[in-house]
Structure 1
């Protein structure tokens, strides 16, 4: 009897400790966001707005527009509308991994490539 109670307590503790990360992607499909990253040892910020079909990014006094094609509520493809180089012509696959408050952690890679990077964006409005 005591053994059964101990097993039950262990199972309850394991299940309660395994908290599933929140993933409320719909709250982050549209709006204004910011994203910070280190480039050459300097922390830089990109601000961007996104709706169902368009993403406009503001970085270093430059504005870039990209088309947005949603795969599902948590994944989308971004492709520059007016690429200035061959590398800018490549589409990027974006995926929200989890959300918390006004932040979402995402993973991105060039379409068809296995090298993935991660970042965190903050919703501003």
Structure 2
């Protein structure tokens, strides 16, 4: 009986937790994020407006159109793709926010490829302006 009571208290306390998601604060701005390629940690930067994202990474500049699904989700479509991989649209989702300084996001292909698993990756973007 004592164990059931403790379990109920634990469930009650953990069910009250709500993740902060002020996604509208991160629709536009300049951000940085870290990523790893071949075991090497690198930093990328992007500037996002309501309908455009300019990405700076690995000495390259890439532009994508932004189509917002709701305040927390959007689709990125590369404007001038150079490879078949760049033709694939990306689905971005803001999972949580930390005040106005950073947000945790998840990204994956917008359309699942046939006979391949749909992998979702996570990252953190930090506001720099």
TM-score after normalising by structure 2: 0.83
Runs of 5+ in structure 1 lacking a partner?
1-6
Match of 2:43 in 1: 45
1:30 paired to 2:28: yes
Residues of 2 paired with 1:31 and 1:123: CA distance? 7
Matched residues, number = 120
Displacement of 1:12 after TM fit? Answer: 6.5
User: Over the residues paired in the alignment, what is the CA RMSD in angstroms?
Assistant: 1.9
Deviation at 1:15, TM superposition (A): 3.6
Deviation readout 1:13-48 (Å, 9 max, x if unpaired): 644444211011001110000010111111101100
Identify which of 122, 125, 128 aligns with 1:121. Answer: 125
Within 1, Cα distance between the matches of 2:127 and 2:50?
A: 16
Q: Distance in 2 between matches of 1:11 and 1:71?
A: 38
Deviations 1:47-80 (A, max 9, x none): 0000110000011221101000000000000011
